[in-house]
Structure 1
Amino acid sequence: MKVPLFNHILLLRYAGLFTYLCTGLPLLSSSWRAEGVETGSPDHVGWCVAYVLFGLMYWFATRGLGRRERHLERVPLLIGMNLAAFAIGWFSHSGISAILFLVIAGVVPWTLPFWPSVVWVLVQCFSLFPVFAREPNFTWPDAFLQCAIYVGFSVFTYATSLVAKQQVDSREEQRRLNSELRATRTLLTESSRMSERMRISRELHDLVGHHLTALSLNLEVASHLVHGAAQEHVRQAQTVAKLLLSDVREVVSQLREGDTIDLSAALKTLVDGVPGLNIHLDLPPRFAVDDPLRAQVLLRCAQEIITNTVKHAGASNLWLRCERTETNELAIHARDDGRGAAGFKQGNGLTGMRERLAQVGGRLNIDTHLDRGFALDAWLPLEAAR
């Protein structure tokens, strides 16, 4: 029997929700409650309120799980979930909160980096020490040992969730790299096509054109050496040779006129399938370059912009616009709705972009502020008329 495929992110979310609902079953029966927790008592009311708050915060904290967004905004919700779970354990005089900490351990890897998330899981488990230590039948070593037992369960849940997140990140990175490879292949195809047209035009001009010119000259000489009907045939052959030479020159001119690299297909391929980011691409009707080096620089700049936005910006949208300016330049304008930066320091990627642009006489301008996104403008001059 074939096992149905599930979205593992949604499955992880609803598994946590199911676990949360199961921990609330003691609320339905007074026989399940710890001694001294009567219906309507302050402890019972506190338990109920904390339980409802935990569920609401879990729902909002796991909404959009796996998307590239500002994950740190979930940290206040995680803190609230920890406080609510601790309150449930405190008011219920039980270890139910430890089960809810397992649910939190499944959310932490999607919110915090590795080492902060590991510390978070350990601290939340040992925060139950006061809950266990206040019980009459628990000594302090017993309370510590009980917390250590729940650390084992939390680590297993955390590791399972972390593996799922790493698989998602790897899959998204593969999709992004595949888009870059397909765009590079498109650019190479265009470059190969242009090189082949150039080779054919040169062969026609240098070989066929040369021989036709020599033939015309020989026919011109022959027309002066023969008389009568033979001379008429030589004249006709000379006319045909001149027409053929004119046709060859016209074909060579047409080949050279179409000798440009169309960047539209490569850029559309590059932005297609980038995971977790909506890219709004704006291109002129025909965006072509006659220099392979400039085409490569422009494509690499677009790649670097998309890569930085995906990895660092925490953005949901990227607007990418390319144009030919009135000053005979190619321009690429990019901006996103990410977190931005107050004290910006460019890394190797942007440094490499500046170096690529400098090779062709281009320039780069960056504008970013905290909570105002990231904006980048790049210009590179077009090659002089060939």
Structure 2
Amino acid sequence: MERLRKLLLDPLFIAGLLTWLAVALAMRFMAQHQALGWVLLVSWLLALVVHELLQTDRPWLRNALLLFEALAALTLIWLDPRPGTAQVLLVIWVTQLAAERSLRVTLVAALLADIAYYLILRDANWTSPMLVVMINAGFQGFAMMCSHYARSAEQARDQLARVNADLLATRALLADAARDAERLRVARELHDVAGHKLTAMTLNLRALATDPELAARSEVRVAQQLSAELLGDIRNVVQALRDSRGLDLATALRALAAPLPRPLLRLQVDEDVRVDDPCLAEAILRIVQEALTNAARHAGADTLRVSLLREGDALLLAIEDDGRVRNALREGNGLTGMRERIEGAGGTVAFTLTAKGSMRIDARLPA
């Protein structure tokens, strides 16, 4: 239903629907075969809607629908060859074709359709059939280039969004790594400098306490107690600074998904999950990034659920989307790269399909 709602609000689809309505109004003036014309026209519209609603992982069915649209439009032209009627459907068809095929394929297909259009007009003894076809081809060319550049702009936008997400996530990891390094530096300074001086002061106070005249003074006892407490406090602070190490993966993962329109990231990271190794953190980041790309591009998913839990000395990474994998599961370049990255980090991974047909990734990584 969500895809249908988006389709009905798509400006290009609305423009195509209005064009179809104009052709439908012109159908009232068909002299013959009006019933067949209505069947073809309604079938053409249904093919258009189904084609736009289909997932991209069924290319054979999408191609069959495009072929049917072309044949239905040419048949309507044969039934009623008057210019300005069913010929407009070929313009919409070329726009669809250019949105998902290369310019070369679109040009060849449009040329074949226009040749058939010319033969129909010549068979109907139409005046100046070449001029009529050339005018129609001009509209097709304009629509084709608009669709092609719109597709290129959309691809560039998606690529830019992925690069931006990558940069944001990497920046978050680098900032966290820098904070960890600074905490470690401060801990070392406290331990090496302040701790050393406090230890020396404590020893000096003990030496003073051996003097009978000074041992009886309360100031010496208080100074000894305060130095011992301060030394213990510094040790606790140093230990806390060391224990707080660990990259903030949750922030980096959210930054990775933020610029992408879909899928929506549902993230669950245990509080006790700490990743000290930047290489391991980057591996987890790249795995989730590839899962986001696959979910959006191949499965048509709207939501991606990611959980990162600790189990003993291992990290359990589980990723599942709500899309549908129509074909049999096989490892392409993306999944193979994901497996190589996980195994390179000393972990294992399994790719499975759920009962709903969605992709699930289970990885076990060293903590």
**TM-score normalised by L of structure 1:** 0.79
Tell me the CA shift for residue 217 of structure 1.
Answer: 1.3
Number of residue pairs aligned between Structure 1 and Structure 2 = 357
Where do 1:174-185 residues align within 5 Å? 174-185=160-171
Q: Which amino acid aligns with 2:14?
A: Y
Q: 1:310 to 1:319 in 2, by over 3 A?
A: closer
**Map of 2:27 onto structure 1:** 27
Matched, 1:239 2:225: yes
Amino acid in the other structure paired with 2:248: D
Amino acid at match of 2:64: P
How big is each residue's C-alpha offset from its partner over 1:316-371, in whole Å with a ceiling of 9 and x where there is no partner?
Answer: 24543323353521122234434365483532x545434433443122333469x9
Aligned match of 2:283: 297
Q: What is the CA–CA distance in structure 2 between the aligned matches of 1:146 and 1:102, rounded to whole Å?
A: 14
Question: Could you tell me which of 313, 318, 322 is aligned with 2:307?
Answer: 322
Change (3 A) 1:351 1:51: closer
How far apart are the structure 2 equivalents of 1:114 and 1:340? Answer: 28
CA distance in structure 2 between the aligned counterparts of 1:263 and 1:189, rounded to whole angstroms: 12
Which of 257, 274, 277 is residue 288 of structure 1 equivalent to?
274
Q: Deviations over 1:170-221 (max 9, x none)?
A: 2233333333322222222322222222111111111100111111112222
Confirm whether residue 76 of structure 1 aligns to residue 64 of structure 2: yes
Q: Which residue of the partner structure matches residue 121 of structure 1? A: 110
Q: Is the 8 A contact 1:318 1:334 kept in 2?
A: no
Among candidates 23, 27, 37, match of residue 47 of structure 1: 37
CA contact (8 A) 1:71 1:110 kept: no
Q: 2:249 aligns with which of 260, 263, 274?
A: 263
Residues 120-269 of structure 1 correspond to what in structure 2 (within 5 A)?
Answer: 120-137=109-126, 143=129, 146-225=132-211, 227-228=213-214, 232-269=218-255
| Cα deviation 1:69-123 (Å, max 9, x = unaligned) | 4463433332232222112111113343322101111222334455433433332
List gaps (5 residues or longer) in structure 2.
Answer: 1-6
Which stretch of structure 1 is more off in the superposition, 88-97 or 372-381?
372-381
Listed as ranges, the matches of 1:55-70 within 5 Å are: 55-62=45-52, 69-70=56-57
CA distance in 1, matches of 2:198, 2:310: 43
Q: Distance in 1 between matches of 2:225 and 2:235?
A: 15
1:126/1:144 contact within 8 Å kept: no
1:88 aligns with 2:76: yes
Q: 1:282 to 1:78 in 2, by over 3 A?
A: farther
CA distance in 2, matches of 1:271, 1:188: 17
**Structure 1: how far apart are the matches of 2:12 and 2:76?**
23
The one-letter code of the counterpart of 2:362 is: D
Give the 5 Å matches for 1:363-378: 363-367=348-352, 372-378=357-363
Aligned to 2:3: none
Contact 1:264 1:288 in 2 (8 A): no
TM-superposed deviation, 1:21:
2.1
Does structure 1 residue 104 correspond to structure 2 residue 89?
A: no
Alpha carbons of 1:237 and 1:283: their partners in 2 closer, same or farther (altered >3 Å)? closer
> Which position in structure 1 is the counterpart of 2:10?
10
Paired position in structure 2 for 1:3: none
What are structure 1's unaligned runs of at least 5 residues? 1-6
Paired letter, 1:380: L
CA distance change for structure 1 residues 286 and 237 in 2, over 3 Å: closer, same or farther? closer
Is the Cα–Cα contact under 8 Å of residues 202 and 228 in structure 2 kept in the other structure? yes
Q: Say if 2:262 and 2:303, in contact at 8 Å, map to a contact too.
A: no
Q: 1:208 to 1:352 in 2, by over 3 A?
A: farther
Rounded to whole Å, the distance in 1 between the matches of 2:47 and 2:260 is: 30
Q: 1:105 touches 1:154 (CA, 8 Å); kept in 2? A: yes
Contact 1:280/1:317 (8 A) holds in 2? no
Contact 2:169 2:256 in 1 (8 A): yes
Shift of 1:143: 4.8
- On the 8 A contact 2:162/2:260 being kept in 1, the answer is yes
Q: 2:263 aligns with which of 263, 270, 277?
A: 277
In 1, the alpha carbon distance for the partners of 2:239 and 2:178 equals: 19
